[in-house]
Chain A
Amino acid sequence: MADVEKLQGELSELLLVEDPDAGLAWAEETLKGDIGVTDFFNLVFTPAMAAVGDKFGRMEIFLPELMDAADRAKRISEEVLQPMMAASDSDQELIRGKIVMASVKGDLHDIGKNMVVLMLRVNGFEVFDMGVDVAPRDILDKAKEVEADIVGLSSLMTTSMPYMKECVELRNGFGLKGNFSVIVGGAPITAEYTAEIGADSFGKNAVEAVERCLALLDRPAIE
């Protein structure tokens, strides 16, 4: 069996080098060896990206480098892994779920939301980022349009939190409760508030956001 830890280390370094093709070539080469594409995705690709995320957590790299790394990872996923998955008869999909994300109406804060979007993307979610100051009705329409599994809402202010409640109430009122879950987050949001407004989940930070979204979709957690 391939030394996955070594491979993880190699990939996380390649994701941070300027050359956009370096990781692609390396992934193709590595997958010619004795590691299958599903194992590669779960044991090498996802943890390597998580390691890059940790570097950002420690401020060893900054947001633009993290986003570049995410772009490179996305290319590896789309150009190497997905075609191989399609060819093999593995029933595992690389897209873990569809998520619509927004900072709710009245709220222009987007730094935390952007980090959550990024971490979800690198962990295999397809994310539709609607930006900031988004009205509840627009969020619901988007969720219907793309058939989202989850709607993620971010609020940084007590003065925009009421729009989270409104989103949940509108979803329930329009009979869409069975269609998608709502996860909420942002500095003033607590588990108690989440329960109070009837949202389905809450995450304290971007890492928790990924964990909770996987849980909402009943998918295994990432090591």
Chain B
Amino acid sequence: MKNSPIYDYMLSVLDKAEHGPVVDENDWDFNYINRTIKDLVKKYDIQWDAEVMVPADDDLADRLFEAGMELAREVGVYCLDTKRQMKWSQEELDYILSTAPKEEVLGLGEDKVTVRHRLPDEDSPITTIGGPYGTPVAEELFVPIMVSYAQESILDYIDNATLVSTHGRPIKAGSPWEAVGCWQEAQLSFEVLERVGRQGMPIGCAEDSPSAIGELATTTYGGFRLTDWHHASFISELKVAYAELTKSIHYQHTGAFSHNFYNTIYGGYVGGAEGLAVAIVAGVILMKATLNGTTFNPGPSHAHLSCNTFPAMIPSLSLGFQAISRNTKLMTSSFPRPVGGPCTKTLLYESAAMAVATVPAGISILEGIQSAAGRITNHVTGLEAKFLAQVGRASVGLTRSEANELVQHIIPLYADQQNLGEAIQGVPFEEAYDVETIQPLPEWQGMYEETCREMEALLGLTL
């Protein structure tokens, strides 16, 4: 039997990981990444005024795309397992980008969801996703926490939490426990869909699969479905591991939907805001080239705060999305990882800023939230994701210039608080929601309603 062109292409990607030039990892970080990005920022004159939050300069967005494309072509991807540089010709990159669909349907039956490519300033609808995205949660709280998202009709679908334990045992990466954990994640997710009567809704998964084992074990009969939203990722900066290549080739074979993400690091080897923007664009192009997914999230992550809502990072992200949207058909997602946790206004403000800054930039999906930077057990609730989706949907139709002004109003509400550490981590789910009725407790509900009114007054949007 003859292979399809795309299958042959995927094999050629795996070949690159075996036969590319051997490169020292340190050399990769310093010379291939840092030096090249510094040069590209100069060559393409990537800069904007410090107070601009949502750049609205098409020429700048297109120059950024060129810079990102040059980084993708000249540097490529580093395979961590083989220590080799994987490189693409412009022709290969053009080919794989040309195969990207402009629209895709996920889910089943009445719960089908369409994701579409959008242009900057366009008023077509966005897709919204809610969930803890890998934030650890206790076994007994997985269902109530996930229901708190799944029950919100404004959310098109959900993305799972990570289980702290499985059947009372630790989930150990790369061990049989990873398979056990992912099977439990799958079974509990189906219980969640059942509870809210949205059985066909796509599930962002598997979130208990740090190696490929969990994903391979559960994308099969009785496990996660092909119409769910499976993950494979890059490691910063522009690196990939066998585990992620394994997941990708599995998705290619099974036809499972693949979502790819990458956390480029602000303040790390890419440097500051301008370098970050170049890495965001290159990262999305190269995730398509390497992992061949259908939707793409480029992080990023602050080197100290682990968040992506730090004010200086917002224009990089917004501009990066514009560059990709204007020059490819790739569908991107914007994903706040705020410092604030549940039951803090900081969390809501950070999320609002991200929504307003990126929806007019031409993203396809608004998703979240990794509350409290996604690392504190049980510090996640559905209410913040509902709020994010509301602000996102209300921002559809804004122009970038309008959005710029609005974001400038939101930033001062949280900028000073991002360094407060534990003080803004908020409270765990059990203290923010009634675990039986799965409804927000009065304090969190009140804070949410107050912030909705504040945002309506400040932004002139109807939530």
Residues of chain A at the chain B interface (Cβ within 8 Å): 56-57, 59, 62-64, 67, 105-108, 111, 115, 131-132, 156-163, 187-188
Given A59-B267, A62-B272, A111-B268, the answer on whether A159 and B178 have CB atoms closer than 8 Å is yes
Contact: A111 with B265, CB < 8 Å? yes
- Chain B contributes a number of interface residues (CB within 8 A of A) equal to 36
Shortest Cβ gap from A67 to chain B (Å): 8
- Quick check: is B304 within 8 A (CB to CB) of the other chain? yes
Q: Assess whether B173 is in contact with A62, with CB atoms less than 8 Å apart.
A: no
Instruction: Judge if B174 is at the interface, Cβ distance under 8 Å.
Output: yes
Chain B 191-228 interface mask (CB, 8 Å, partner A; 1/0): 00000000000000000101100000000000000000
Given contacts A64-B34, A162-B170, contact A106 B211 (CB under 8 A): yes
> Do the beta carbons of A57 and B304 come within 8 Å of each other?
yes
Alpha-carbon distance A105/B210, docked complex (angstroms) = 10
Nearest CB of A to B307, in Å:
12
Contact B271 A62 (CB under 8 A): yes
In chain B, what residue has the closest Cβ to A63? B268
Give 9 nearest A-B pairs by CB, closest first. Answer: A106-B173, A187-B375, A162-B172, A159-B173, A162-B170, A64-B34, A63-B268, A158-B136, A159-B171
Is B164 on the interface with A (CB-CB < 8 A)? yes
Q: Mark B261-285, 1 if CB is under 8 A from A, else 0.
A: 0000111110110000000000000
Are A161 and B170 touching (Cβ within 8 A)? Answer: yes
A188 touches B375 (CB 8 A): yes
- Interface assignment of B162: CB less than 8 Å from any CB of chain A: yes
Specify the chain A residue showing the minimal Cβ separation from B214: A159
Residues of B within 8 A of A59 (CB): 266-267, 272, 303-304, 312
Name the distance in Å between A39's Cβ and chain B's nearest Cβ.
Answer: 32
- Chain A, Cβ-Cβ closest to B421: A204
- CB pair B136–A108 under 8 Å, yes or no, is no
Within the complex, which residue of A67, A108, A160, A187 is in contact with B306, where a contact is CB–CB below 8 Å? A187
Q: Which residues of A contact B170 (CB under 8 A)?
A: 158-159, 161-162
Q: Are A106 and B210 in contact (CB under 8 A)?
A: yes
Within 8 Å CB of A132, what residues of B?
80
A111-B265, A160-B173, A160-B210 are known; give 14 further A-B pairs, CB within 8 A. Answer: A62-B267, A62-B271, A62-B272, A63-B268, A106-B173, A156-B375, A157-B210, A158-B170, A159-B170, A159-B173, A162-B172, A163-B172, A187-B375, A188-B375
Q: How far apart are the CA atoms of A43 and B51 in the complex, in Å?
A: 40
Q: Could you list some 20 contacts between A and B, CB below 8 A?
A: A59-B266, A59-B303, A62-B267, A62-B268, A62-B272, A62-B303, A63-B268, A64-B29, A64-B271, A67-B30, A106-B174, A107-B210, A111-B301, A158-B377, A159-B172, A159-B210, A160-B210, A162-B172, A163-B172, A187-B375
State the main secondary structure of chain B at its contact with A.
loop
Which A-chain residue is minimally distant from B33 (CB atoms)?
Answer: A64
With a cutoff of 8 Å between Cβ atoms, the chain A residues found around residue B266 in the complex are 59
A206 to B172: give the CA distance in the assembly, Å: 26
Cβ–Cβ contact A63 & B174, under 8 A:
no
Contacts of B25 in A (CB 8 A): 131
Kindly identify, within residues 148 to 173 of chain B, every residue whose CB is under 8 Å from any CB belonging to chain A: 162, 164, 170-173
Docked CA distance A160–B375 (Å): 14
Max count, chain A CB within 10 A of own CB: residue among B29, B30, B210:
B210
B172 to chain A, nearest CB (A): 4
Residue of A nearest to B304 (CB): A57
Q: From A108, which residue of chain B is reached at the shortest CB distance?
A: B235
Interface residues in B55-84 by Cβ distance below 8 A to A read: 80
**Chain B residues within 8 Å of A62, by CB:** 267-268, 271-272, 303
A56, A105, A131: the one within 8 Å of B267 (CB): A56
Cα of A107 to Cα of B210 in the assembled complex, Å? 7
Q: Which one of A57, A64, A131, A159 contacts B162 once the chains associate, using CB atoms below 8 Å?
A: A159
Q: Which of B350-399 contact A (CB under 8 A)?
A: 373, 375, 377
Q: For residue B172, which residue of chain A has the nearest CB?
A: A162
Q: Which residue of A lies closest to B181 (CB)?
A: A159
Closest chain-A Cβ to B396's Cβ sits at a distance in Å of: 33
CB distance from B376 to the nearest CB of A (A): 8
Contacts of A115 in B (CB 8 A): 303
> Which residues on A sit within 8 Å (CB–CB) of B301?
111
B241–A108 touching, CB < 8 Å: yes
- Are the C-beta atoms of A111 and B303 separated by less than 8 Å? yes
For A157, the closest partner residue in chain B by CB is B210
User: How far does the Cβ of B176 sit from chain A's closest Cβ, in whole Å?
Assistant: 12
Is B316 an interface residue, CB under 8 A from the partner?
no
- Roughly how many angstroms separate A67 CA and B268 CA in the complex, as a whole number? 10
